[in-house]
Amino acid sequence: MSHDWEGLVQEDRVHRALYTDPAIFNAEMTKIFGGTWVYIAHESEIPNVNDYVTRKLGLRPVIVLRDSNNILRVLYNRCTHRGTTLCRHEKGNARAFQCPYHGWNFLNSGKLRGVPWADGYSADIKDEKFNLAQAPRVESYRGFIFATLNLEAPILLNWLGPMTNPIDEWLDRNPGGKIVVCEANRFKYKGNWKLAYDNSSDGYHVIYSHRSLLEMENRLSDASNKGMAYYKNSPDSLAMYVQYMGNGHHFKDKRPNLQARPGGLWAIESTHPGKEYAEAEFRRKYGERAESLLDLAGSEPVNINIFPNLSLLGNHIQVFQPISVNETDAVWYGTRIEDVNGDIGDALGTINALRMRTQEGFPNFGEVDDLANFEQIQVGLQCEEDEWIYMNRGHGIPDRIKTNADGTITAPATDEVFMREYIKEWKRLMKGPTPLSIKREP
Ligand code: FES
Ligand SMILES: [Fe+2]
């Protein structure tokens, strides 16, 4: 397949084919979801030896696990006999996996352990070719596990680059610099996966797309200072900003709007069911301490978007999982904290309950607005003759966009520079030769 990538991706616009062409989607599953680092799971989901979760690397079903020797592995969830899905569970703890079809049995290192009635084989069943395929490179950064099939990709740390700063800050406000990933709020939309990534630092849509949520918040409380309210008047003149971080990653930072005081973060927390009651109880019980404790439940006002499929926002982790050219899963995992330093005490349960409750705020009442737009874009892009979509906001305006000494690019909150830049990285990956590899246990 050859595409005119320069023609399809221009300085201020991209062709509809990026979102509608099944051949481009198939190439993405190799060159992006395979050819670069892809977020696959969090270490806290598999804390113990032999723990596993089943996920996808692009369209490849995989088992992400901590093997019996405590090594993180991403095994292909595909039996080497005739190819069926080996493990049919979402998560569990297992030293070995037995194929449901003919019973081949694999250790969690990927090695074939045995087959029923082995005397029926003339081939050497110990040959390495019968061991499960696995991702040749698996690395984690502070608990976030990534995998790639590209032996030539840079090490994870270099690929994340300056993105490690916002990730560190997002983690370090929690006790011990840790979060534990919990269950998820699962959405599916009929649209291309990039529509979600395009939107993930989009400060331009907020006041229009999420109007009903903002109006509801205004009815329920004085919401003039809540998270999204910053976009109301002239968002580009505020201290918040969007920053392109290189390698397709981008970062939206609304923290400069925060009052730096205990309770400052909680003060901008959006409304969610039961919030006022829980808050009052908290203040009654913990007095002075309540403010800083409530901050531990608050949603950090950032969007940390790690190309191509991970977004840390508020106190959630969102993962974009492509299904087909026009179908995507958008999964919002909740997170909880642990009392690592022993100074939270019996407030921990309430803090974590409040963190869960924030799943009922924006993810339920805001995300649906976004998904509706993604689906309508996919409909609009069926108009073959109307070929372009524009990402030109901020383009060509002198002094609006600043390139920093470290090569990152900063712009006002509603700017689309992050889209123009990440799609260049997308183009670079799509154009390049992508040698993919698997490995098997010897
Ligand atoms: S397909 Fe797995 S044992 Fe036959
Ligand atoms: Fe949105």
Tokens of 130: 């019968």
Nearest to 214 by CA among 198, 204, 228: 228
Which residues have their alpha-adjacent CB atom under 5 A from ion ligand 2? 370
Q: How far is the CA of 125 from the centre of ligand 1 (A)?
A: 13
Is ligand 1 within 6 A of the CB of residue 81? yes
Mutate to test the pocket of ligand 1, among 82, 97, 130 (most ligand atoms within 8 A of CB): 82
Q: How far is the CA of 358 from the centre of ligand 2 (A)?
A: 16
Q: How far is CA 396 from CA 12, 107, 166, 338, in A?
A: 10, 57, 28, 47
Residue 436 DSSP code: B
Task: Indicate which ligand has the atom closest to the C-alpha of 231.
Answer: 2
Domain coordinates in residue numbering, the chain = 162-430
Is ligand 1 within 6 A of the CB of residue 429? no
| CA–CA dist 232, 235 (Å, integer) | 7
Q: Whose CA is nearest to atom 1 of ligand 1?
A: 82
Q: How far is the CA of 105 from the centre of ligand 1 (A)?
A: 9
C-beta contacts of 42-49 below 8 A and 24+ residues apart: 42/143, 42/144, 42/145, 42/181, 42/317, 42/333, 43/72, 43/140, 43/143, 43/144, 43/145, 44/143, 44/178, 44/179, 44/180, 44/181, 45/91, 45/181, 46/72, 46/91, 48/93
Task: Indicate which ligand has the atom closest to the C-alpha of 80.
Answer: 1
Q: What is 162-430's CATH number?
A: 3.90.380.10
Q: How far is the CA of 111 from the centre of ligand 2 (A)?
A: 45
DSSP 183-248: EEEEEEESS-HHHHHHHTT--SSHHHHTHHHHHHHHHHS--TTSGGGGGSS-GGGSS-EEEEEETT
DSSP 162-186: GGHHHHHHHHHTSGGG--EEEEEEE
Give the position of tokens 């003919």: 102
Is ligand 1 within 6 A of the CB of residue 101? yes
Per-residue pLDDT tens listing for the chain (442 residues): 579 999 999 999 999 999 999 999 999 999 999 999 999 999 999 999 999 999 999 999 999 999 999 999 999 999 999 999 999 999 999 999 999 999 999 999 999 999 999 999 999 999 999 999 999 999 999 999 999 999 999 999 999 999 999 999 999 999 999 999 999 999 999 999 999 999 999 999 998 999 988 888 777 766 566 667 777 777 888 889 999 999 999 999 999 888 889 999 998 888 777 788 888 999 999 999 999 999 999 999 999 999 999 999 999 999 999 999 999 999 999 999 999 999 999 999 999 999 998 888 888 889 999 999 999 999 999 999 999 999 999 999 999 999 999 999 999 999 999 999 999 999 999 999 889 999 999 9
Q: How far is the CA of 202 from the centre of ligand 2 (A)?
A: 7
In this prediction the pTM is 0.96
Is ligand 1 within 6 A of the CB of residue 84? yes
Q: Whose CA is nearest to atom 4 of ligand 1?
A: 102
Give 196: exposed, middle or buried? Use CB within 10 Å, 0-12, 13-18, 19+.
buried
Mutate to test the pocket of ligand 1, among 76, 79, 106 (most ligand atoms within 8 A of CB): 79
- What pLDDT shows up at residue 271? 79
